[in-house]
Structure 1
Amino acid sequence: MTPPAPSDENLLPAPVLVVEDDPLMRQRLALVLDGLGYAREAITFSQSLGEARAYASNNPLAMALVDLGLPDGNGIELIEELRAQDPSLLILVISAWSTEESILGALRAGATGYVLKERDDLEVSLSIRSVLRGGAPIDPFIARRILALLPVAADHIEPEEPPRPVEAGVLSARESEILELVSQGLTNREIAEQLVISRYTAECHIKRIYRKLAVSSRTRAVNEARQRGLLP
């Protein structure tokens, strides 16, 4: 049984990347996300680091659900890369690994939260919901392990540098292309159809444009871009 899905589709950050090589776990997560209200086209599944990197390098993301034990490497590497690309990205580890090295490594790499695969669908759903609401869910078993480590780890952990913000005003080629279409008055759906991408991907690009230009509306984005010489 899963919690009732949010009534407002706009509350669900998308697209979502699920990095998981186990087909049964992919099926579980698909059902959990469906129960939260996610449309199938808002979710992309990758079975390896290579697939995930290829997708993330060409598509914006709002949330990533990442396993650590992948066929071609450790998911911690991917977490570091995703966090560097977008400091605001929501990243939840869903893994069977519960070693100190895995837990602390994932959290230091930039994971927003960490839940074990052994938890039932309701607990996994609640963890994802917590991330969506700005929380940082930690599996109770893992929380106890971390608390037990604190007295020993405190003398060895160096302060981490704060996340690097998205570089203001620097638009990617795709973002510039989408901003041009926005300036022509096209809706998100029309932009998606013209560029042959999903509406969720178009919306995510536009949100990143807003952040980079420090604006909150389409009109202001166009005006700001023209003042900066990013649009004719």
Structure 2
Amino acid sequence: MEILLEKTDASVMARNSKFQSVLIVHDDLQVTERLRSVVSVLEPRARVLVARSCAQAREILARSSCSLALVGMDLPEDGGVSTILHLREAHPHMERIAVSALPDTQRVRAAVSAGVAGYLLTDALDTELVFLLRSLERGGAAMDPRVARCVLERMFGTARRAPASSSTQVPSAAAETEAPKSVLSVSELKVLNLIAQGWSNRQIAEAFYLSINTIEFHAKSIYRKLAVKSRTQAVREAMQHGLLN
């Protein structure tokens, strides 16, 4: 009787698990396999589906339902945000977790605005990822502490600067010089620094465990924001504005 009770409790827990059916939307194979492994720790019998783009995610969800989606924020052309927005509108019952290599302030803000229940960083230990995701079953948010701090600092900083925003101020020359730095995201600044050191896109991709397409997307975004057309011009512009570490 006692053994049967234990089995029944286990089956009930499994049916209630948020990890019974999980969709991973990411274009990096290493990250995808790692997330699959983390999910298997949470639920050994989980059904894990994989999409490499928002379009593939839509195709999968047209014929299958999932309770949780782990969405890569490093997908090219803001594919991560687009996917999260689509999931929120078309599949509101599904929990949505953003996954990224870096705590990029702009992407964190975009993900939170799009409607996520958490934000994970891929450089965290597997045990940390498991712990954070498990908090979903307790009604919590699977938020990496570094991302949480980023969100809190932005909230505090916005509140602290609010009174000054009511008056019209002429930006100083120093502020104008630093303008490009505020435009580039954290990820773009890191890529830009490595470009300045002579790293190729493939080397940068391998260092950050991202696809080369993602790094090329960052590079094009850097060129556009700095109004340049080549690596040499980008480095020269970065040096003029003090963007390099």
Give the TM bin, normalised by the shorter chain.
0.5 to 0.7
Which amino acid is 1:29 matched to? L
2:73 matched to 1:68? yes
Seen in structure 2, the aligned counterparts of structure 1 residues 112 and 24 have a Cα distance that, compared at 3 Å, is same
Superposed displacement of residue 73, structure 1: 4.1
2:39 matched to 1:33? yes
Secondary structure at the aligned position of 2:142 is classed as coil
Secondary structure at the aligned position of 1:65 is classed as strand
Question: Equivalent residues in 2 for 1:110-121 (5 A)?
Answer: 110-121=115-126
Secondary structure at the aligned position of 2:96 is classed as strand
Which amino acid is 1:45 matched to? V
TM-score relative to the length of structure 2 = 0.56
Contact 2:117 / 2:141 at 8 angstroms: preserved in 1? yes
Secondary structure at the aligned position of 1:45 is classed as strand
Structure 2: unaligned runs, 5 residues or longer:
1-8, 163-245
Superposed displacement of residue 124, structure 1: 0.7
Q: 1:132, 1:90 → 2: CA distance?
A: 11
Q: Which has the higher contact order (CA 8 A, sep 6+)?
A: 1
**Structure 1 residue ranges (4+ consecutive) displaced by more than 3 angstroms after TM superposition:** 151-155
Secondary structure at the aligned position of 2:152 is classed as helix
TM-score relative to the length of structure 1 = 0.59
Q: 1:139: which partner in 2?
A: 144
Structure 1: unaligned runs, 5 residues or longer:
1-5, 156-232
Q: 1:89, 1:62 → 2: CA distance?
A: 5
- The CA deviation string for residues 50-73 of structure 1, in whole angstroms up to 9 with x for no partner, is 211221233322110111112464
Q: 2:93: which partner in 1?
A: 88
Contact 2:53 / 2:79 at 8 angstroms: preserved in 1? no
Q: 1:116, 1:123 → 2: CA distance?
A: 10
Larger radius of gyration: 2
Q: 1:177: which partner in 2?
A: none
Deviates more, 1:101-110 or 1:72-81: 72-81
Superposed displacement of residue 146, structure 1: 1.2
Deviates more, 1:30-39 or 1:111-120: 30-39
Q: 1:45, 1:132 → 2: CA distance?
A: 22
Q: 1:132, 1:44 → 2: CA distance?
A: 20
Superposed displacement of residue 152, structure 1: 4.1
Higher fraction of helix: 2
Q: 1:101: which partner in 2?
A: 106
Identity of aligned residues (%): 30
Which amino acid is 2:26 matched to? E
